[in-house]
Amino acid sequence: MGKPLILVSNDDGITSKGIRVLVEIMGELGDVVVVAPDSPQSGMGHAITVGNTLRLTETDIFSEVKAYKCSGTPADCVKLAKHHVLKDKKPDLVVSGINHGSNTSISVLYSGTMSAAIEGAIEDMPAVGFSLCDYSADADFSHITEHVKFIAGQVLKNGLQKGVALNVNFPPKQNESIKGIKICRQARAKWQEEFDQRYDPHGQRYFWMAGNFVNFDKGEDNDEWAIANNYVSVVPCQFDMTAHHAISILNNDWEI
């Protein structure tokens, strides 16, 4: 039996430190193919390229690993990988990241990292998005490599339910070691945005988005609590956004 086939993507771009670390780790588990954006695509959510050209170029950025840079979004990368690059070969695992910055709580909706993983789940491939809660371009990943390898290995060994992708977040490096791994739910938190009105040198008005992240969740079973307490958070996510509990209420309350 051959090695597992592992597809690697991200949203920080193919030249980021995080994807290089992820490629090295996945190389210990299987045969790796990389398809990643040619430039940063953070905050793109699950956007896809429609009505514009998509360019795909092979690159030798990773030694001994077949890699392609794509002009599109993270979701585009996974689609192109499955339907063009790999063709009749179905990956045993799709991994995305390692993202420079948190993708906990509501950020999963905006995350390009998680869109690549969820696209994998849509295509019926086990998928994981990895994020480190450190926004530095030169972030230190040394304390999480064994955890990344362990989680990916568990998915290869045990699989995932159809339609499920894992959102994995790691605390930044601290003086103490990571305490462990917590299977969590998404915290009830959100960004409270502010828009700073500014003017460019030509006198044209523009806005710069800022704001604060507010956590309304007091529970100890969510991803925000896990990261704050130096645990790895693992949240199973799905692309079915139906509010199933609301269907019966609407059927009962509406005069349909």
Contact in structure between 112 and 43 (CB atoms under 8 Å):
yes
Contact in structure between 86 and 118 (CB atoms under 8 Å):
no
Q: Kind of pairing, strands 56-59 and 66-70?
A: antiparallel
Count Cα neighbours of 256 within 13 Å in the Cβ-side half-sphere: 8
Contact in structure between 134 and 140 (CB atoms under 8 Å):
yes
Q: How far is CA 230 from CA 132, 175, 177, 224, in A?
A: 12, 11, 8, 10
For residue 99, say whether it is annotated as part of any ligand binding site.
Answer: yes
For residue 42, say whether it is annotated as part of any ligand binding site.
Answer: yes
For residue 11, say whether it is annotated as part of any ligand binding site.
Answer: yes
Could you tell me which residues are beta bridge partners of residue 182? 233
CA distance 129 to 107: 12
- Annotated binding residues for a divalent metal cation, written as ranges, equal 11-12, 42, 99
Binding residues: 11-12, 42, 99
